[in-house]
Structures are given as C-alpha cells and as structure tokens.
Structure 1
C-alpha cells in the first residue's frame, strides 16, 4: 500500500459493503484486542468466532491473513512446510498498518479492503467450512459484523482475494 492511498475507515467500509449488497448485522461492544478479551467479557454472539493471524515469510516478501477457530493453536512450522513458504512468522505492527491499514487487535478479513495491490493472501482453515456468520471487526475493535459464507464470497469477489482453504495444523 502506498502512502498516497486512502485507508478506509469503518463507516466507509460499511457503506461500501452495502453498495455490494452485503448488509451484515453490526454488534457494538467494548474494545476487543484479542480472543481472550472476548472470553473475559463473556460476550455471547451467534456465529463463528475467528482468530486472525497476519503472517509473513522469512524474507518478508509474502504475506497472508490466516483465519482459524478462536481457540486453535496453530503449528506455524508445519503450516510453513505445507504451503511451501520459508519459515512463517507473525508480521509486525508496521507491516499490518502498511498492508491492511489497521492496528493490532483490529484485524479481520474485512481489512483486505485496504490491500488494493493484492499483496496479502487469504487463508482459511478448512475446519471453518462448516461455520457461518463469521465474526469480523469492521476495521475497528469496538464492533463485530457477522459475515455469512455468501457475504464472505461476495466480499472476496469484490476485493479480488481468492480464499485458499487449508488444513491448518494445530500445535
């Protein structure tokens, strides 16, 4: 993402989604920086809770946003071997801002709207295929939208991020 590109905010995102025919429920809540924050607040929302991991290869040339179950501990070494990337690791907060335009704790698949250069791959854990109404922050961690599978597909069609469904190994 270049410095001249505008970073989308939550309100603009919701308007864009509506223009695409995507009108998911929006749930306001206190700030949630992690899955553990949601557990502590005992938030009971319908749908599938997600863990969003922004990853990079060892050289920092390739990036992926991995979505998995909120309670899953991912074996990055095994996943790295599976996808054929050199040593997967967590990308820095600077990279998160640069590629997805959000701060740590605010990331979800909806942040891909800011990846206009298609530099981030979208990886989805195969275990999520039975889920629906995926919990996603709308570029801020004080709200959650519930994105259906149909809406997820429409969103990725519009952003150009083809989801790659993977058997994500647990550690």
Structure 2
C-alpha cells in the first residue's frame, strides 16, 4: 500500500463550496454515531494490538483514539467561541506533541471513548439546534491563516471521524484482526 493511501485511507477532506442542509444533516449523523462505532471497532483489541501503529512512523491505535478525543474537544470549544464571539482567533494546538504525551501513549482507550460519547452527545445537541445565522458564523485558524465557517467545520469533523476510523479498520484488515 502506498504511503498516501495509508495516511489518507479515504482521501483528504473534500468539503463542497455549496454546503446544503442535507450535507449538514448527514455530517451531524456521522458525528453522532462515531463514538459507538469506534467502540465497536476496537472492543476486542489486545493491549499489544492497541499499541500497533497504523502505518510505519504513524500513531498507534491507542494514540489515534486519544487524538480523536483531544481534537474533537478542541473543535467543540471552537464552535462555542465562534457562536459567542465575532470571528474569534482560536487557539491552535500541536496534535503531534499531544499524541506523544504519556496519557496518549498508555491510557486505556475506554477513557477517551467514554469521553467521546459524552462530548459528541453535547456537540450533536448543539449542532442540531443551530440557526442558519449561527451556521454562517466562523473562526480564524491561526496555524492555517484562514477563516473557517462552522458549516465547513462540521464537514471537516465528519471527515475526521471517518478518516481515523478507517486508519484503525484498515490496519485491522491488513493484520487479519477482524
């Protein structure tokens, strides 16, 4: 398998310019299902399997699961900032360094999966209640030096869920763990 296929098993995020109500509904549904699907996918993995990288020089399954919580928690806060401030400049974080912290490398994954369940329940509740005016709000991402709309960010995080789910699933298929 080529490196780009291992890094991006579903391709890079491709968010349409014209985001429809149907897009948003589908993306929210995906975000809503993700914690349970991730739990189901990883439920039978051993500690050794959890500590297997999904690609050479990549994160382990354990790190991927903890990264999902870290990333989604940051995104949820970014939504709150965008809804309560005018185009706030959000705080970026170094996801690679966060994934190298001892908790990401050794903590049981059920802690992040349980946290994802609670977080996604709150996040989906928030997203489903947004008005069109609220959906049109945005924030500034300093690391990317660009304005990110909330509609676009819903799509980015639906992609992010699928992206990391497939990292784990593809490794499990390659290793014959399914």
TM-score of Structure 1 vs Structure 2, range by shorter chain: under 0.3
More helix by share: 2
Pair member with larger Rg: 2
More strand by share: 1
TM-score (ref. length: structure 1): 0.26
TM-score (ref. length: structure 2): 0.25
